[in-house]
């Protein structure tokens, strides 16, 4: 069983929820609101993850760039040495 939560919605929103329930989109108002909250949280979570990646990779880490350059040089050198 869920935890009761009180929320105020405007009349148009409640009417739209009631129409959705009548159409069979959800068994009750509470189920419709709970589904909407879960969907919002899921979408928000995805946005936060995407934002954290944008932030983390906005500035390049010089040490990481040096490592990538060395690995690339080593890999290229290994290939040339084997085929040469």
Give the DSSP letter string of 27-44.
SSHHHHHHHHHHHHHHHH
User: Is the pLDDT assigned to residue 74 strictly greater than 80?
Assistant: no
In angstroms, the CA 73 to CA 81 distance is 12
Residue 27 lies in a domain: yes
Range(s) of the domain holding residue 49: 11-59
Going by pLDDT thresholds of 50, 70 and 90, the confidence category of residue 76 is: low
Q: Decide which of 36 and 43 is more confident.
A: 36
In angstroms, the CA 4 to CA 70 distance is 58
Residue 5 lies in a domain: no
User: Is the pLDDT assigned to residue 47 strictly greater than 80?
Assistant: yes
- pLDDT for residue 19: 97
- pLDDT for residue 83: 52
Number of compact structural domains in the chain: 1
Please give the model's pTM, rounded to 2 decimal places. Answer: 0.56
Residue 80 lies in a domain: no
- pLDDT for residue 11: 97
């Amino acid at each position: 069983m869920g935890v009761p939560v009180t929320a105020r919605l405007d009349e148009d929103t409640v009417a739209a929820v009631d129409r959705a329930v009548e159409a069979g989109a959800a068994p009750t108002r509470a189920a419709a609101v709970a589904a909407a909250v879960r969907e919002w949280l899921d979408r928000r979570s995805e946005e936060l993850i995407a934002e954290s990646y944008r932030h983390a990779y906005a500035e390049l880490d010089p040490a990481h760039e040096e490592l990538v350059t060395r690995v690339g040089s080593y890999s290229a050198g290994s290939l040339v040495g084997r085929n040469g």
